[in-house]
Amino acid sequence: MPRKFLGLLFLVGCFACIHPKIGQPPPSGNVFQSLTITFNFSDSQGKQSGRVHWRFDAGNAKFLFFNPLNQVALELDIAGETALLLRPGKKLYWQGDFSFLLERMWGIQLNFEELKQLILAGAIPEEKTIGKDIRIDLETEPGNRSPRIIHIRQNDADLTLKIVSSETRPGRVVLLDRDRRFRAAELEDVLSDD
């Protein structure tokens, strides 16, 4: 009888060690999407490469551009199609249209919503590519609509975006108040490396 009792005690101990699976409901309320993207760019003036962390929710978006030392070199805040480019190291900012900024930085003519849909859903804006000099190629993973690699060529500009990670988190995107800490500057001054 003691053997049966010890066997039963052993089984009860084993079952006590099993952790129940806790089902976590999907986040409700405010959520934002977070992406890490690496980029390679080249044109007639040179080459660039780097890493961008992009967060966006229903109303706002924020891009953090990292330098090779893993420090934030530029921050790009977007509300609608209005871009606010901040250079934390110099305490400078520039504000204007996102499509103007993208064309100046990388020579590509897309607005923010077009770029967002391209990255998230692989939606190529046909009105920009049909009969124009812009070409967009996508690499997707099997069974997934969102692209893993996006290759954009326009004139001599060649941009490759690689989505390294993508996740949804609870919270919202908060944009910086530039008035207190930053001063307005020309776009060239904000983008310059000196």
- CATH no. for residue 79? 2.50.20.10
Assess contact for 23 and 13: CB atoms under 8 A: no
CB atoms within 10 A of CB 152: 23
Domain annotation covers residue 143 = yes
Query: Is residue 3 a part of any domain in this protein?
Result: no
Dist. CA 154–CA 18, nearest whole Å: 58
Domain that holds residue 47: 26-187
11 occurs within a structural domain: no
Band the pLDDT of 174: cuts 50, 70, 90.
confident
- 100-131 pLDDT, tens digit per residue, is 999 999 989 999 999 999 988 888 888 777 76
Give pTM, 2 decimals.
Answer: 0.77
Is there a domain that residue 167 lies in? yes
Residue 20 domain-assigned (yes or no): no
Which of 92, 96, 61 shows the shortest CA–CA distance to 79? Answer: 61
Does 1 map to a domain? no
Q: What is the CA radius of gyration of the chain?
A: 24
The domain total for the chain is 1
Read off the tokens for 180: 């207190």
